[in-house]
Structure 1
Amino acid sequence: MNPDHARRPRLLVVDDEADNREFFAETGDLAGYAVASLGDVRELESALQPAPDVILLDLIMPHLDGIEVIRELARAGCRSRLILVSGCERRVLQAALRLAQGFGLDVLGELQKPVSVAALTALLLQPGMPPARVQPLQPVTLDELHAALAENRFTVHYQPQVALHDGRWCGVEGLVRWCHPQHGLLLPDSFVPLVERGGLGLELTRCVLECALADLAHLHGLLPGGRLPGLSVNLPGEALFDVSLPEQLLALVDAAAWQHDAITFEITETSLAREPVRALDILTRLRLKGVQLSIDDFGTGYSSFGQLHHLPFSELKIDLGFVRVADRDPVARAIVENSIRLGRQLGLTVVAEGVESATLWHWLREQGCDLAQGYLVSRPMPAEQLPAWYAAWGVPACPA
């Protein structure tokens, strides 16, 4: 085998039509992939050894349809990235994409047949990163997690949030990382489910908040007016069971001499469902003390509007799954447009996650969205890299 070929990331094309397989294979080869093709989905299990980096899956196949295949991939713990293609109507294709994501599969996107070279290449070469082999989640134990918390082995990376109307830097979202002695730097997917099962969410939140407040203290004076950047931190569902939460968290904020209104806690809709009255108690007291509250992943749940009506949110954060595709998906575009309109009517700050192109940036600005967060602005980074990012940051030019 050609050694250079062996180093290329692997693409598996699964389509029962020979012409399609040939087209997808040629496009993948030009994008830098080593390509294997499969016409009979019943042979998929053997084709997954070793696991390819990307699987391109046609949803309409004889013997097993794409939904059945998605279910089997999830059951097998497949870590390959997935591209879904089909000639069926787009809403069915997008429903299949959401199902795959719901099963925990890593979905790059969906393409409606006939597929163009440009559209497929754009998915195979995601913005800001070359095709790369997906690293498997590293196995960690609850004992390791307890030790990591006791030994302060967690660190925080920061993704900037900027104002869409002028590009002004407004704040950062703090995203936890685990500095594991054997596995290196672990992303949240590797350990957050274990944190939740072990009931350690509140302890991890305190750790993240304390670390972030200390990290960002040296940035004092970097923003106009000598302000510290706003800091957003995720608040786990289990935190909303403890009515002493406001005092616990604000003691850390006060000790670091931060303003309360510079702190935003992000809450997902699902975390509010278990103890709604107690959550209302805790969140209202946080707002009374000046802390900002954001409803995260807005639009993905079934009762987002009810939560906006009952709870004192100050920010609405539109889920990146809608924002990323709003420039090419009419349904996602309508959801984003109406979310922005709703947020403005309610007097909320509206944040768009997943802003990855200049086209999206300028469209969101035209819609009246307040803040942008995403790879176009920056990937998450350690605190010490923020000043250099800030010095280089500029509003993206409007596409021709």
Structure 2
Amino acid sequence: MSSQSVRQLPMSSNSADQHLMLVVDDDPVFSSQISFFARPQFNVMQYTNPDQIDPIALYRAELIVLDLQMPGHDGIEFLKSLSLVCPHKPVLIISGSDIQVVRMAERVAELLGMTHVRAAQKPVSLSQFRNIVSVMPASPQKDPANIAVSGGKLWSLGDDGKSAVGDRQSRYKPQLDIKTFDVLGLEALPPWTSLIDDIQKAEQAGKDLVSPEIGLDFSLSAIEAVLVDCDAITRDTARHYRFSVSVSSETLASGNFVKTLVEMVGRLKIPANRLVICFAAPLADATSSREVMASMARLKLHGFQLSLRNVSSLLVEEAKSVAEVLDEVVIDSVLLRSLTTSLISRGSVENILRVAGGAGIRVVADGVDDERTLSWLRQLGEPIVQGRLFAHPMNSIELRAWLQQQFRH
């Protein structure tokens, strides 16, 4: 970052600027209304989008009132940036979006590490606004003083001038050859994995939990973080592993997903065939969607691998229906938990291994947590295995140390 593009914040603030509130909303009428509600407790500064925010004002503000949807700007993206540099900054999300989206945005902020976030749906009354503000902290906890603004994004600068992202890292589960225990791949668990899981479950229930834009944004952010780790792990270990990351069917259907992903791997110089895009079964609605199938075809055309998760015996036929584009299926962990005690589960796993093997699709057994389960899998067909028997989910630093230890053995 050049000195011309970065504005450094001062180490101290002026007491005259205490009780400063920022309103970030493109609706001037709403901003004026909130400003009226906030006085005389707060001095108010209004911005129509996050890029306009003065970094000194951002640092000194005791409360930020934030809209989610502004022309050309995304409130969620701002929250992601803010969480890296000011995770304790009180934020009140007030949006005209659907109430489920507003509540999900609040949860997203919490998953990102924001400690003082509340959310409400427009319109809000004077009493509602003041009741919410009254239970929020009067002043923020101490945030980093070395905050900078560059290219419309927020950065927390370390002593070496590099951006610091705290401890909100992706975690990884190794995937091993069942015979040799060689590491073949790594499944990524981004910090907001539970959010992606909730989106997938909601889709399966026929509900729109979040807007497509929010789901797409988080999936792409997760993938970019994984690709950065992928590059670092490759350089440290001189090994080329597959990296798996989950997306929702709705994200997969987005017209921008494949285009952005192709640009991303090109920019980071990561071969597309090292990235496995995972999506969850059931496929009842997804397979009938032309957008999803078109995205699958485009992903394969560009060299990406595709994986169908949560496969059970009842879904083998569905897996066969998209076998021409699938590289992998992941056995439902529920089946593995009962593998040692249930003949039905053993029959289901054996059937999956037989059908997938016949179609040239590799099989991953996720949730191998004990020796008995491993022993049964060896008898039934020898899939790729992952689970706590081999390693707990690890961040990239822990993973690199673990991999180095495996090499020594």
Normalised by the length of structure 1, the TM-score is 0.55
Shift in alpha-carbon separation, 1:303–1:168, aligned structure 2, 3 A = closer
Q: Is the 8 Å Cα contact of residues 237 and 272 (structure 1) preserved in structure 2?
A: no
Q: Is the 8 Å Cα contact of residues 234 and 267 (structure 1) preserved in structure 2?
A: yes
Residue 372 of structure 2 is aligned with which of 343, 348, 359? Answer: 359
> Structure 1, residues 73-99: CA drift from partner, whole Å, max 9, x if none?
xxxxxxxxxxxxxxxxxxxxxxxxxxx
Q: Is the 8 Å Cα contact of residues 238 and 271 (structure 1) preserved in structure 2?
A: no
Alignment of 1:155-194 (within 5 A): 155-178=169-192, 188=194, 192-193=198-199
Residue 285 of structure 1 is aligned with which of 298, 301, 312? Answer: 298
Q: Is the 8 Å Cα contact of residues 279 and 308 (structure 2) preserved in structure 1?
A: yes
Shift in alpha-carbon separation, 1:191–1:140, aligned structure 2, 3 A = farther
Matched with 1:260 is 272
Q: Is the 8 Å Cα contact of residues 316 and 352 (structure 2) preserved in structure 1?
A: no
Matched with 1:145 is 108
Q: Is the 8 Å Cα contact of residues 216 and 254 (structure 2) preserved in structure 1?
A: no
Which amino acid counterpart does residue 285 of structure 2 have in structure 1? A
Shift in alpha-carbon separation, 1:156–1:140, aligned structure 2, 3 A = farther
Q: Does 1:308 align with 2:315?
A: no
Matched with 1:210 is 224
> Structure 1, residues 181-216: CA drift from partner, whole Å, max 9, x if none?
xxxxxx616994599622222111111111111123
Shift in alpha-carbon separation, 1:260–1:190, aligned structure 2, 3 A = closer
Which amino acid counterpart does residue 339 of structure 2 have in structure 1? A
SS in 1 for 2:269: coil
> Structure 1, residues 79-133: CA drift from partner, whole Å, max 9, x if none?
xxxxxxxxxxxxxxxxxxxxxxxxxxxxxxxxxxxxxxxxxxxxxxxxxxxxxxx
Which amino acid counterpart does residue 375 of structure 2 have in structure 1? H
Q: Is the 8 Å Cα contact of residues 176 and 385 (structure 2) preserved in structure 1?
A: yes
Q: Is the 8 Å Cα contact of residues 252 and 295 (structure 2) preserved in structure 1?
A: yes
SS in 2 for 1:188: helix
Q: CA deviation at 1:376?
A: 0.7
Output the aligned Cα RMSD: 3.1
Q: CA deviation at 1:251?
A: 1.6
Count of residue pairs the alignment pairs up? 246
Shift in alpha-carbon separation, 1:305–1:391, aligned structure 2, 3 A = same
Which amino acid counterpart does residue 380 of structure 1 have in structure 2? P
Residue 329 of structure 1 is aligned with which of 342, 348, 357? Answer: 342
Matched with 1:237 is 249
Shift in alpha-carbon separation, 1:367–1:307, aligned structure 2, 3 A = closer
Alignment of 1:1-400 (within 5 A): 141-143=104-106, 145=108, 148=112, 155-178=169-192, 188=194, 192-193=198-199, 197-199=209-211, 200-221=214-235, 226-270=238-282, 273-274=285-286, 276-299=289-312, 303-311=315-323, 312-393=325-406
Rounded Cα–Cα distance in structure 1 between residues aligned with 2:385 and 2:196: 27
SS in 2 for 1:270: coil
Q: Is the 8 Å Cα contact of residues 316 and 351 (structure 1) preserved in structure 2?
A: yes
Shift in alpha-carbon separation, 1:305–1:286, aligned structure 2, 3 A = same
Q: Is the 8 Å Cα contact of residues 339 and 376 (structure 2) preserved in structure 1?
A: no
Rounded Cα–Cα distance in structure 2 between residues aligned with 1:372 and 1:162: 5
Q: CA deviation at 1:367?
A: 2.7
Q: Is the 8 Å Cα contact of residues 327 and 359 (structure 1) preserved in structure 2?
A: yes
